[in-house]
Amino acid sequence: MEAEHTNEDTQSRNARLPVEYLYFTVDDVAEMLCVAPSTVRTLLRKERWPHSKFGVQVRFTLADLDAIRTMHRVDVALKARPTHIGSDQARRRAHAYNIRNGLVEQRYSRPIP
């Protein structure tokens, strides 16, 4: 008669392992990232996320999760707004924004036409 494995058995076994050896399922990663498991599977295919496969089971390590976070990191640096498109008012507004944030130097005192 086989003994059933419980979640407590798995947790106690994982508590003895070094952190580098822990594996997370698609559902675990979805919960960590606050997205649906189907989103994780889609991004796994489309974005080519790092992962390990054991047969048909997909698993993620902490190193994989760090690499995924790095892949999707967004820098919030200010970028100059284009002043060559849009209406005159929009171009003037973009030019004023660029000067105000130090993204371009004001070369002349008269406004852009």
Q: What would the pLDDT profile of 30-87 be if each residue is shown by its tens digit?
A: 998 899 999 999 988 887 888 988 899 999 998 999 988 888 877 666 677 776 777 8
Rg (CA), the chain: 25
Q: 52 and 61 in contact (C-beta within 8 Å)?
A: yes
Residues 96 and 64 in one domain: no
Eight-state DSSP code of residue 58: E
State how far the alpha carbon of 18 is from the alpha carbons of 3, 4, 37, 100, in Å.
26, 25, 26, 51
Q: DSSP assignment of 69-113, as one string?
A: HHHT-------PPPSSSS-HHHHHHHHHHHHHTTSS----SSPP-
Question: Do 20 and 65 sit in the same domain of this protein?
Answer: yes
Q: Does the reported pTM lie above 0.85?
A: no
CB-CB contact of 79 with 103 (8 Å): yes
> Per the structure, how many domains does the chain have?
2
Whether 62 and 87 map to the same domain: the answer is no
The domain in which residue 104 lies consists of 75-113
pLDDT level of residue 1 (50, 70, 90 thresholds): very low
- CA gap 91, 9 in Å, rounded: 65
CATH number for the domain spanning 11: value is: 1.10.1660
| Residue 75: per-residue pLDDT | 65
Asked if 82 and 58 sit in the same domain, the reply is no
